[in-house]
Structure 1
């Protein structure tokens, strides 16, 4: 499944969170980046070890933080991994069923994070120079 552009983020939810957090928004987004990188790595490690219990907490954490920023496809995928992990723990099974979801997680996280950070730190508009450009005399 591929997500394009604005479908990765519920922008009204993102803007509401940004308004609520005010000056702390960029700092909290930085925490999301740090926690997300750690969560994705922990999920991948648990998957490599077929450790169903190791999927649950990082997927749960990623799910909640992604929802906070309106990153609903990412939150949904993290929830899918969390549920598979919980089900496998209860059934005392390994977690091969999560493999497809886990392989989609990192690219989706990176795409989503790039969108969130780009919106949080838009490039400053360039002002035209007072003259006619490089090598031209200012009138």
Structure 2
């Protein structure tokens, strides 16, 4: 299945992880952010250097951490990079076929984190509050004219 057809975030998996981690969730999500940036940077550098062996570990790390948070598209992209890189190591080929996936990886990570952050933020209202006939959004505040 092409990456674009894979859900960006599986919210059931995200909610399960958030519930399991409890109060530690924001801290662990922060680690995912930091590790993800490092992994993507390592993948991009390894790809520019055409070093398939150097693609394997950061792609493997990103794959697992992404799946933990329900970031299925990012995880699928990282898995493709890992598997192709492993094959390239075995066959002593260059990982040139990965160019589209590597280029799309950072934007996918950025978009995914924006969604995860939005849903993980306890201060963001997930549904508008309805009072009578009017709906107030957090930006409008209580008691302001709509």
Per the normalisation by structure 2, the TM-score is 0.82
- Asked if the contact 2:3–2:73 (Cα under 8 Å) also holds between the matched residues in 1, the reply is no
Rate the CA distance shift 1:13–1:48 in 2: closer, same or farther, 3 A: same
Per the alignment, residue 128 of structure 1 pairs with 142
| 1:6-17 map, 5 Å | 7-17=7-17
2:50 aligned with 1:36:
no
2:52 aligned with 1:52:
yes
In structure 2, distance between residues paired with 1:74 and 1:122: 24
2:92 aligned with 1:92:
yes
Aligned pair count?
130
* Superposed CA RMSD: 2.0
Q: CA deviation at 1:94?
A: 1.5
| 1:96-107 map, 5 Å | 96-107=96-107
Per the alignment, residue 115 of structure 2 pairs with 115
Q: CA deviation at 1:99?
A: 1.1
In structure 1, distance between residues paired with 2:124 and 2:58: 35
Q: Which has the higher strand share?
A: 2
Q: Secondary structure at the match of 1:8?
A: coil
Per the alignment, residue 25 of structure 1 pairs with 25
Compare CA radii of gyration and give the structure with the larger one.
1
| 1:55-70 map, 5 Å | 55-70=55-70
Q: Which has the higher helix share?
A: 1
In structure 2, distance between residues paired with 1:124 and 1:35: 25
In structure 1, distance between residues paired with 2:35 and 2:70: 16
Q: Secondary structure at the match of 2:70?
A: coil
Show CA shifts across 1:93-128 (max 9, x none): 111111111011111111111101111115445442
Q: What are structure 1's unaligned runs of at least 5 residues?
A: 134-139
Q: CA deviation at 1:91?
A: 0.6
